[in-house]
Chain A
Amino acid sequence: AQKVTQAQTEISVVEKEDVTLDCVYETRDTTYYLFWYKQPPSGELVFLIRRNSFDEQNEISGRYSWNFQKSTSSFNFTITASQVVDSAVYFCALSEWEAAGNKLTFGGGTRVLVKP
């Protein structure tokens, strides 16, 4: 069975600090997809990134970067030079290729609070 663990429930930083969110997953499939979503105070889930299990290259998008390591089953997310607008709950999710319908399994979420 698939499982996603986000061990950090809440992280508080001061603006301009870097913050790294951990995500550890479990799956029996060799083909799977990993996602990060952001939930700002307004409540909607905003898609950030999708990565498949065959692509271990790290990715950078502006101040966001992701580190995918299959050896440790981790897909960590770093926000560089954090800003107040980054305050949100961030969810890591997994979808197995063989799972019917490609349903997402979510971690518990990490609340990030960026103080000015």
Chain B
Amino acid sequence: EAGVTQFPSHSVIEKGQTVTLRCDPISGHDNLYWYRRVMGKEIKFLLHFVKESKQDESGMPNNRFLAERTGGTYSTLKVQPAELEDSGVYFCASSQGQGAIGTQYFGPGTRLLVL
């Protein structure tokens, strides 16, 4: 069974540009999470989808970040326009089930560098 996949693995962009990150969860997992780790900081929660609906987006830093999960399958996280402080590693995770704590399985992350 394929794990969580993320694309691209690395992205280098200039300040002000747009970047879109993609996450494909484990097949059958309704829950999809985005986290990020900026330099020297802890891994922080960004948002959580249950199927195509946003369950919790309390961790989204500002309105430059837009997450979607069309059809409840893969998800995209767009940063527009990117700022220097957006540099870091963006992780996606997925888990099974609703209403219970399922183990979150993580992807390899996307390393974003904003110059």
Contact = CB atoms under 8 A, between A and B. Distances in A.
Interface of A: 33, 35, 37, 42-47, 50, 52, 91, 95, 97, 100-109
Nearest to A45: B106
B103 A50 contact: yes
Contact of B109 (A44, A105, A108): A44
> How many of chain B's residues touch chain A, expressed as a range?
20 to 34
Contacts of B31: 101-102
B112 interface: no
Secondary structure type dominating chain B contacts? strand
Interface string B55-90: 110110000000000000000000000000000010
Given A33-B101, A44-B106, A50-B103, A108 B45 contact: no
Nearest to B95: A102
A107 B42 CA distance: 6
Interface string B12-33: 0000000000000000000101
A108 to B, nearest CB: 5
